[in-house]
Amino acid sequence: MAGKVYLVGAGPGDARLITVKGLQCIEIADVVVYDRLANPSLLKSMKKGAEKIYVGKKPDRHTMKQEEINQLLVDLALQGKTVVRLKGGDPTIFGRVSEEAGLLRRSGVPFEIVPGVTAAISVPAYAGIPVTHRELASSLSIITGHESPEKLDHSIKWDKVTNSTGTLVFMMGVAKIGYISQQLIEHGRSPDTPVALIRWGTRAEQETLTGTLADIEAKVAAAKFQPPAVIVVGEAVLQREELKWVEDLPLFGRRVLVTRSRSQASVLVRRIEELGGEAYELPVIETVLPTDPEVLKHTEQALSSLEQFDWVFFTSVNGVEFFFRHLESAGTDIRSLHKARIAAVGPATKAALAARGIVAESLPERYQAEGLVEQLGEMWKPGQKALLPRGNLARSWLPEVLRQRKLDVTEIIAYETVLPGEDDEELLKLLEEGGIHIVTFTSSSTVTNLIAILKRMGLAEPAEALNKANIACIGPITARTAEEAGLRVSVTAEEATIDSLIESLSGLNRKSK
């Protein structure tokens, strides 16, 4: 039985601009066939074991001819697979969808066309250019600019197109900008007509060049302006100076590598995107329950006698999350800790406890274990029993200090930190090309794990590649680990919090502009 093919528009570039249905199709696909203009980060939504096939086209070469792509979709579907053909923008706007869908229909393969946000309107919007305006442009034409002059003359009736609408949008026409400008002027457009070229619109590489029909070719040559780009011609371009918005955001133009675990990355990713940056996620930490029988037995014994503890110290959100998973598994009542005072390092850890109805002791001024000692040390008494639910890679500093203060310390390994199994070839490409502008580290383990993953992927000198970017660390301990790994730390957050890290990133970007 034949599978099904979804011809999906990926949107203009920013992965968040794909439609809900488009993303759902990617999530259920057995195979995703994608091109150059589709954001590779969308592929992270594919289910485990799904296949991805790159058929992208560049101006100077094609990975696969269009006829071969058409047949590939048929062949995959006839194997019973659910296939997503992922295209930049909208599949019906110069996306060759008719050819692909036509062969699918003739081959008896069911398909759906899933519209996308076309670059023709969204890319100008990200440059502050509305393609229509009540007074300046009440109509719009979308025109291909990719063909040779002879083909352009055959497919475009310049005498009709030039003045038929207020705004003209040419797709993929950078190399032909001189010819396009010449034809528009010869057929009645004023040489003073405003023009804008927006390159890689909605992505970190977004760049806008403005001019007029008379001088835009010279400006493109002087700036060595390269495709892909959208060309906008018309008075609506004048709105840019007043309406440009994304370029004013603190992290505009920066692709930021986020190395937190998948479950914890969302807050940092959202803050980066709110500030105009493009977050690139590579989870380098995976937290799992321990499997060693001796470790589990030790945890079980501690949980069976919770009423004996005077203190419980949580030093991370993971410590909270996994401690409660162990409680649930053991069928232990949290009220067994009625005698204990509960302390947390950092506001996120305190918030994780509060979500479970537990109010932790006052926060330390410094969001690390040293601050906990400074804030609460005078309250500790020799002989008191302390419980520390921790990860297998946690620092030994806190339990050592507690023992020096003569407390009876019980450590339990509530979770283990392991390397994720997935490699990311796209990241290697970005690092090589300088496409990662900032690398964030939120713990020492994110540093050591990223280095290990890059080596596993075949990168002989990870530090050398990472040092092409700015390195941002959440605190001095993480920064020290990064420096010991050969990284040049550009900025260290004043406080060990996501908010402070984001502020540091914004300041770093302002200095580099």
* Residues noted as catalytic: 35, 57, 172
Q: State the Cα–Cα distance between residues 34 and 13, nearest whole angstrom.
A: 13
What DSSP letter does each residue of 117-144 carry, written as one string?
A: --HHHHHHHHTT--S-BTTTBS-EEEEE
Query: Cα dihedral angle (322, 325, 331, 333), rounded to 10 degrees?
Result: 60
Taking each helix axis from N to C end, the angle separating 317-330 and 293-303, rounded to the nearest 10 degrees, works out to: 80
Residue 100's CB is within 10 A of a number of other CB atoms, namely: 25
Strands 57-58, 61-62: parallel, antiparallel or unpaired by DSSP? antiparallel
Q: State the Cα–Cα distance between residues 165 and 132, nearest whole angstrom.
A: 10
Q: State the Cα–Cα distance between residues 326 and 413, nearest whole angstrom.
A: 11
Q: State the Cα–Cα distance between residues 418 and 393, nearest whole angstrom.
A: 10
User: Is 26:32 a contact under the CB 8 Å cutoff?
Assistant: yes
Question: Measured at the alpha carbon of residue 489, what is the angle toward residues 488 and 490, in degrees to the nearest 5?
Answer: 110
Q: State the Cα–Cα distance between residues 304 and 354, nearest whole angstrom.
A: 23
User: Residue 256: which H helix or E strand, with range?
Assistant: strand 255-258
Contacts of 509 (CB under 8 A, 6+ apart): 250, 251, 252, 253, 254, 277, 438
One-letter amino acid identity for 394? A
Residue at token pair 């330390």: 364
The total number of residues written for the chain in this structure: 513
What's the burial of 187, exposed, middle or buried (CB within 10 Å: 0-12/13-18/19+)? Answer: middle
Residue at token pair 């990200």: 126
One-letter amino acid identity for 304? S
Distance of alpha carbon 512 from its chain centroid, rounded? 21
Residue at token pair 């475009």: 156
What DSSP letter does each residue of 320-346 carry, written as one string?
A: HHHHHHHHHHHT--GGGGTT-EEEESS
